[in-house]
A and B are shown apart, each in its own frame.
Chain A
Amino acid sequence: MSKRVVLLANNIDELGGAQRVVQVLAGGLASRGYDVTIVGVEPLGERTAHVASTYQVERLLETPYPKQAGAELDSLRAGALRKLQAILDAGEPGILVTAQVWAMEHALDCDLVGWRTIGQFHSSIEAAAFGKDLDRILRAYRDVDQFLALTSVDAMRFTQAGLNNASWLPNPLAQWPSEVANPQSRTVTYLGRLSAEKAPMTLMQAWRIICEQGRLGDWNLNIIGSGPHDVQIQAAMTDLPRVQLLAPVADPYVALKETGILAVPSLIEGLPLVLMEALAIGVPAVASDCSAGVRELLDEGRCGLLVNRGDAAALASGLCELAENDELRARLGRQGREHMLAYERERILDQWEQLFESVNR
């Protein structure tokens, strides 16, 4: 069995969940003796320094694709495909893992003879259907050796939607925090992109409700992130007490260490890495019931509270319930940390190796 693995993603420079997962997986597999190359289709923003020299890093394009279709885009795409083919042909065929469907759409135009292919989708089927991804996934991943969803429920739904090669494998935690978060912390933290689907404004509304009810007077709300809803958040903050908007952080554990409760008000999610990291460091969460992944991570309420999505009043009440009960918070935090052991990097890597054996049959 070839030990060569190529991990292909839309880009490998973002701080986003899928990119972090690709890097963690690459490092982990390389440490187990695999010859790993990670490939980003296009550069995005500042280049992330991939310090680990245990795997190779390639980018198919030097500049991002133009926004409009046309000759320039066609020419760039042809160049990207030539480069991808050259990377694949540089050694014996092994396993090609595509982290996102757009990346897979590039790989499909290459000669993959001899390669075993694994296609991933890093969100829920609801998220796929929300945009245009579901149809693309059904097309691009129909013939891969294994399609991987994040949870068993998503895998079942993708099967029902038409993929009979669907299985599931959760994302690994990048690192296991040795210390737990400060149990005395009186901070509710939101950590993520400030965009419509993450619904930070619902959290702001919830905070307003809490303040109007005169509750949680000794608690703060930290909104950490950036995105298209920056301005709205800033406007909403002006008459709200104890709210801070902070810049995104490279190491989420730094912020989570001083967090009492993580708020995840999203409308759509997959298996959110930030929620996994919060639970791993012992921070319980109040999250919207927006995906099978969130439900699985909160383990039927053993690690946090689930509330209806888009429901600011329910979110406010969940936050108050948790914030006003130190014992409950401590218990859920403890259970969350235990639950996250299953997502530890080495355990997930074991499952990846079993998967490699299976696709090589």
Chain B
Amino acid sequence: MNANPDVSIIVTSGGDLDGLFANQTLRRFEVVAEFNAAGGAWVLFAPEYVVLERHIVKNLLLAAEQNGADVAVGAVRPHLLPTTVSVEELSKLNAHSGEIPSTHVLFRREWLSAQTALLDELVKGAARIQISALIEAKIIVTIAQEVIAPKLRKMPNAKNAKGSPFKNLPALAFHFAKLMPLKNEVLFDVEGGRAIDTELPALATQWRVEHPKVHQHWVAARNRHSFTHAWHLGRARWLVVNEVFRNRLPKREGQIMVVAACSMPLLRVGRDNPDWVLQPTSERRPAWSQVGRWDLACVASPLNEQILRSSTAFVGEVVQASVFGDAVIAAASEPHTKSQLTLDQDRPVVVLTFFTAQSVPDLTVLADSFRDTIQLFAVTDDGSRLQLPDGISQVTENVAKWLAVADLLVTDWSVLTLEFGRLQRPIIALEPHRVDVVRRRGTYVDLMSVLPGPVVESVSDVLPLLHEWIKDRDTLSSFNERSASFAALAGQTSGEAAKRIWSAMVGV
């Protein structure tokens, strides 16, 4: 193929060699049937049936040359930008198998000639290479293999319906819904479901009372891409979404898309986090991808607005209003809330809130220590059922009221932390996953310096704090001054959040 090749691709099993690699970006290569016939300074072994990805050989070659390596290994994971690694490190990256496909490896021919055992295996047609066989080499890991664009989730549209309408009923539903006029309907396309009554369910409830003629349809993650979802996507005048990372929803002319931003201040995956490629593909799309479609943003707090503005390029209207925050404040100002919840008036109430059910640590020691002195309740953002020790009850309804009566919150940064913050009561941050999540991913605010309470990493660290707090409720008073600043981050409530959001949405 080339009189002066840089790379020799060795295909030991014969076949139609010329046709196999015609699409390569690198032109200076040859295809030969045996190692002894290789003329290039670099060699790569490929089985006959493989079609190499277009840029793979060139990426391997450039990485090897630029780093003076003996062996270049193509990485499937795109976060492995060119890096020199030891055999041990490479083994860790491929811990499940301890071997690499031969098509991912480019060898300096001179180096390989000296590795008789390895060469012998390859010449015999081995399709995989034991990493331990590369012990003598200087190895560079680079981008090379199949890093083709992440699959975009197939959303219903007329194009998808073409050809095979009955294979894609949602597409068909969307197609026909689009032919009809828009309906005064709100579609809540919501991540996280409606297990507990936080922001969006609270909003939906309020609107149901205030605008009973406006139909609402609620779609949680598991019901997406159904026939009904697609039908409402095509007809609803207002789309309310709560996830910045949603893949693109189709949007009709005249439809208003509202994003509700009320998440916690973990840095968004995609822009700020160098490890974003480790996230599932569905979360990897940058926060900007959906922004162009949003018409209005509803933020629950000034902090949420700050996050929205700094993590996206959103230029539309922003309404700062928290329906759930209104509910918490209203419940807190109501003198009989504690009685309504049939709580003991004398014992303090501590609510434990968690990001997800998976993040709930073993709370037995906490229950054992405070069963008689504190009324303990637990809530998760996703509302999933918890296995709790005797002495701690789970709360899934009237969460606003439970927050309102809590004297202290213990949380791992659940979304409820900010809502509780408005009450200016102490918060203990229990972050058993701190190392894994908060430290790795980072936050928009310095948690240690803004929280109105201490930050601890285990349940056993909470015990002495609670013991002291029981003895003297002012024990956490050193955090008092932070209570006001944290409440400012959480924002004020007007009692009319749902009304304000509605008028902004209708006025767009």
Contacts and interface: CB of A to CB of B under 8 A. Distances in A.
Given A126-B286, A156-B81, A267-B313, A164 B292 contact: no
A165 B315 contact: no
A268 B313 contact: yes
A197 interface: yes
A360 B27 CA distance: 7
Contact of A134 (B58, B143, B289): B289
Contact of A145 (B25, B147, B286, B288): B25
A31 to B, nearest CB: 28
Contact of B289 (A129, A156, A162): A129
A125 interface: yes
Contact of A197 (B143, B276, B315): B315
Contacts of B152: 135
Nearest to A129: B288
Interface string A270-302: 000000000000000000001000000000000
A162 B149 contact: yes
Given A143-B54, A164-B143, A196 B285 contact: no
Interface residues of A, number: 37
B148 A162 contact: yes
B276 A361 contact: no
A257 interface: no
Given A310-B309, A361-B26, A164 B147 contact: yes
Contacts of B321: none
A309 B152 CA distance: 29
B55 A129 contact: no
Contact of B150 (A129, A162, A199, A290): A162
B44 interface: no
Contact of A160 (B53, B144, B277): B277
A131 interface: yes
B71 interface: no
Interface in B36-70: 53-55, 58-59, 62
A156 to B, nearest CB: 6
A308 interface: yes
A351 to B, nearest CB: 15
A132 B6 CA distance: 39
A208 B368 CA distance: 59
Nearest to A360: B27
A143 B95 CA distance: 32
B292 A131 contact: yes
Interface string A332-351: 00000000000000000000
Given A164-B55, A164-B78, A309-B310, A159 B288 contact: no
B291 interface: yes
Interface string B141-160: 00110011110100000000
Given A139-B149, A161-B284, 4 more contacts: A127-B313, A308-B309, A309-B309, A361-B26
Interface of A: 125-127, 129-132, 134-135, 138-139, 142-143, 145, 156-157, 159-165, 196-197, 199, 267-268, 290, 308-311, 358-361
